[in-house]
Structure formats: structure tokens, C-alpha cells
Amino acid sequence: MYSTVLPLVPLANVDDVWFNALEELEDADVPVTTLPFTDYVTTQWIEGDRQTWNHYSTEGHRTTNNLEAWHGKLKKKVRTAHPNIYTIIRVFQEIQAANEISRIQKDAGGPTRPRSKRYRNIDHRLMTLKERLENNTLSLMEYADAASHLLHLE
């Protein structure tokens, strides 16, 4: 179903992809009712604030995984649910010092940790699809089909 690919579709074309998905769903032999789900997507996503969830033109992070990782690192360093103020200050100073060192190394041309090969490949293929869509060598629905296959991470 195309609902999973909606965040990767150009903002102006979200309606087209969603209506096409609804039409395909009507023609499909689905044993259970999908009306609650399609109503939810229509209400929350299609009629809601698309700027919040659409990532077609997003560059950089598309999730909050980097923040979750930082929070996990902070919890490991603190080791208690309610640390005293001096412990928190010390931990923040350690994190700041490590970040400053990393920034200096990066600015000097030092190596940075690359993203995993899996996600680099997905990003590359998605950029290729976007270029083909924008150059009109790929139709909107062909783009949506191809992008939806990228979401099946195995």
C-alpha cells in the first residue's frame, strides 16, 4: 500500500498517490475492512499538517534517532535516575569536551564515522529516483512504487 511511501512523495503530489492507493485498495481482494486505517491516514496525514511528516525535500536526519542515541549515552554516563547537580554538570562538561574534540578533528579533515552501507545505498537509490521524477523520466506512480520497495529493509 502506498501509505508507507507518502513521506517520500513530493508534497504537492501526496493527494494523487493517496487517491491512487485508495482506488487500488477498492480493486484488491482484501479479506478485512481497511476503512478505519484509511480514515485515520486521511484525517491525520492527508488533511493534517503535511509539513510535519513529509520528508521529500529533507536533507540530513529524517528521524530523531540521533537524539535517542544521545539520550542513551547520557543515561549510561549518569547511571542514576536523579543525579545531583554536580554529577550532571560534570557529565555535561565531559560531553561538551568530547564534542569539541570531535568538531576540531572534523574541521581538520579527520575521518568521520560513515553511515552504514545499507542506509547509504537507500539514500543513493532514493536520490536517483528523485532525479528521475524531477526530470520526468519516471512517472509519479512509478516513483512511488520504486520508493516503497526501498522501505522494505531486510
List, for residues 67-100, the tens digit of each pLDDT value: 898 899 899 999 898 999 999 999 999 999 999 9
What are the sequence ranges of the domains in the chain? 2-58+116-150, 65-107
Amino acid at 117: K
d(CA 149, CA 8): 12
**pLDDT single digits (tens) 106-135:** 999 988 888 889 888 888 999 999 999 999
CA angle 113, 63, 121 (to 5 degrees): 55
CA angle 8, 13, 14 (to 5 degrees): 60
> What does each C-alpha distance from 105 to 33, 112, 113, 135 come to in angstroms?
56, 9, 12, 39
Could you tell me what percent of the chain has a pLDDT over 70? 97
Res 114: pLDDT: 85
CA proximity to 10, closest of 149, 120, 144, 135: 144
d(CA 36, CA 25): 13
Residue 17 pLDDT exceeds 90: yes
